[in-house]
Amino acid sequence: MALRLLSIMEALAAVLAEHGPTESAVETLYFGKNASSGMPVAQARGVVLAALAGRGLAVAELAPSSIKKGVTGVAAAGKRQVQEMARVILGLAEIPRPDHAADALGVAICASALAPPELLPPALPPPGPLPAEPPPPGLSGPALPPAALSARAAAGAPRSRRPSGGRRFSP
């Protein structure tokens, strides 16, 4: 087991060195019926946390149900739902494989949604002005200026077609 943990640490250190992330996130552990089956996962998670801390990275820890809810909208979503929504959100042609890849992408999707704005990529510039659209049928012609609307009201034109008791909006 010790050699396996060492290989995880070395592989993660290589990825961190190559990509130079500024933030990190991991999934918290969930122990189902048999806590002893989670011990190897807990040990590997400890190695990951140590490697991230060794690089000076802050670590966001997200619960599995929070990740599922963030990706699918349902905290009790199944693995297939998470895979499919990760595919849709990221614009992938196929669902992420293996299953753990979809889990990791779910963590990344949720962590990026929680990231402070200064860590996100720059926003695209706003688009230019929208082209003028023709008015819908039946509404063509010039709009009445505000003075004309006031004159209509002074001449006794009905104020609105709303039922009584409704909210009034003045022109």
pLDDT by residue, tens only, the chain of 171 residues: 899 999 999 999 999 999 999 889 998 887 666 677 778 888 999 999 999 999 998 888 888 888 899 888 888 888 899 899 989 988 889 988 888 888 889 999 888 887 665 555 555 555 556 556 665 555 555 554 555 444 545 555 555 444 444 444 344
* Rounded-to-integer distance, Cα 65 and Cα 166, Å: 43
Token pair listed for 2 = 């010790």
Q: What's the confidence (pLDDT) of residue 30?
A: 74
Nearest Cα residue to 67 out of 29, 25, 106, 26: 106
Cα 72 from chain centroid (whole Å): 10
pTM for this prediction: 0.61
82, 102 contact by CB (below 8 A):
yes
Across the chain, where does the E strand assignment appear? 24-27, 59-62
pLDDT in the model for residue 48: 93
Question: Cβ(23)–Cβ(60) under 8 Å?
Answer: yes
Looking at residue 117, what is its pLDDT? 58
At 11 the pLDDT is 94
Burial class of 97 by CB neighbour count within 10 A (0 to 12, 13 to 18, 19+): exposed
pLDDT of residue 47: 93
Predicted confidence at residue 22, as pLDDT, reads 85
- How far apart CA 106 and CA 115 sit, in angstroms, is 14
| Torsion angles phi and psi, residue 60, rounded to 5 | -90, 130
Tokens of 140: 């063509």
With tokens 């190695």, the residue in question is: 47
Distance CA 22, CA 103 (A): 20
